[in-house]
Amino acid sequence: MEIDFNFSGNISSINKDQFDLMINENDSPFINYDFLRALEESSSVSEISGWKPNHLVSIEDKKLNGFMPLYLKDNSQGEFVFDHSWSYALNRAGRKYYPKLLTAIPFTPCKTRKIISSKSNNFIDAVINFMEEKSIETWHVLFPEKEESKNLLEKGLIERSGHKFIWNNKNYTSFDDFLKIFRSRQRKNIRNERKKISELGITFSVKDSDNISKSDWETFYYFYRNTYDQRLQRPYLNKDFFNLVHKSKNTLNPVIFFAHLNDEIIAGSLCYKDKNNLYGRHWGAKYDIDSLHFECCYYQGIDYCIKNGLKEFDPGVQGEHKIRRGFEPITTFSYHYILRKDFKDAILDFCNREKIENKRYLEACKRYTPFNKEYKI
């Protein structure tokens, strides 16, 4: 049976029922149809914001049997894999770096399946053919699943490494049980951080798909927006996006940790969960309170994972301060197809050099984790 490949300018043009049949229980919420649709229908993702949807789908016997999120981008914002120096270099050579092709979940640096198909090589070939037809210089695949990496490398994409910090549940029975991994000094430091919050009278509530309300999203959006306002930045996501997430709460599984003080909600941290993982995505607060961020974004999430049997907590990118709080450094990967040989050679050299430095950095970080025999914190 012949398979047809088509590019789609919006997720809504793709049959949702057929799409949902391709998603399995181990997939993260971010590759879910409802999440991608919320991004587009809210206009958080659009040509105006620099994310023009150009999704690749495969059709067999008039039915959807494959999908790859794909965007034409005229900037590098909201990606968390930084290629600004690449664009400067190509522009100085008199060539156009943008538009580029990007396979990623917008504003979401989390490992997720990026090719929903058993025939990923055909998808890769289709994208490369499109690049050649349109003279697009680069294509980037960010944070794919490990199983997808082999096919991407075999097709000539360049591997680039980065890092982030992940908490792993080693069958802890309680937060105190988790604290046993630390030496006494750091156990005391963490307890003191939590004590600062409790002594102020700050308490926490958890809202998930069972009890979250529309007004909870209004409250959280205020905190989210405030975080960007303080930096004089425009938030990537708008209120309509969160309203759409609420409508799909039973499939997207949001979890919000709210901080309360004197009958007032003063901060919130938004996560999503799947079968085994908790993903920290956004946070904000009304007041600047010492240690509130650590409690709301790290300790509440760790406690939630322990109580609910989740295996891993990904709190987001960056932040080596997370090591002191039980998060372990890991290598992240992205893959890059460079159309022309001269630029490809330069990028390959860049990535090889960067990989060496990233390895050194991770080795240094691991010396400070409580799982290292020479651990000294």
Q: What's residue 373's pLDDT?
A: 57
For the whole model, what pTM was predicted? 0.96
Selection from 69, 110, 143 nearest residue 276 by Cα:
110
Q: At what angle do helices 239-247 and 214-230 cross, to 10 degrees?
A: 150
Q: Catalogue all structural domains in the chain, each as residue range(s) with its CATH number.
A: 3-162+331-366 (3.40.630.30), 170-310 (3.40.630.30)
Contact, 94 vs 340, CB < 8 A? no
26: left (phi over 0), alpha (psi -120 to 50) or beta: alpha
Selection from 346, 209, 191, 201 nearest residue 264 by Cα:
201
User: Can you tell me the distance from the alpha carbon of 3 to that of 6, in angstroms, rounded to the nearest whole number?
Assistant: 10
Residue type, 92: R
Q: What's residue 368's pLDDT?
A: 85
List, in order, residues 6 or more apart from 172 with CB less than 8 Å away. 178, 306
Across the chain, which has 377 residues, the per-10-residue mean pLDDT values are: 90 97 95 98 96 97 95 96 97 97 98 90 95 98 95 97 97 97 92 98 97 97 94 94 98 98 97 97 96 97 98 92 94 98 98 97 89 61
Give the pair of three-digit tokens for residue 37. Answer: 């649709």
pLDDT above 90 covers a percentage of the chain that reads: 91
What pLDDT digit, counting tens, does each position of 244-296 carry? 999 999 999 999 999 999 999 999 999 999 999 999 999 999 999 999 999 99
Q: What are phi and psi of 306, to 5 degrees?
A: -65, -45
List, in order, residues 6 or more apart from 330 with CB less than 8 Å away. 163, 164, 165, 166, 362
Helix runs in the chain, H state only? 16-22, 33-41, 84-92, 120-134, 146-154, 175-179, 184-199, 214-230, 239-247, 249-252, 292-294, 300-308, 341-366
User: Can you tell me the distance from the alpha carbon of 356 to that of 362, in angstroms, rounded to the nearest whole number?
Assistant: 10
Q: Is the link from the previous residue into 99 a cis peptide, with omega within 30 of 0?
A: yes
What pLDDT digit, counting tens, does each position of 62-87 carry? 999 999 999 999 999 999 999 999 99
Q: Look at the block and give the residue holding tokens 């944070």.
A: 143
Q: What's residue 317's pLDDT?
A: 87
Q: What's residue 2's pLDDT?
A: 80
CA quadruple 283, 285, 291, 295: dihedral sign: negative
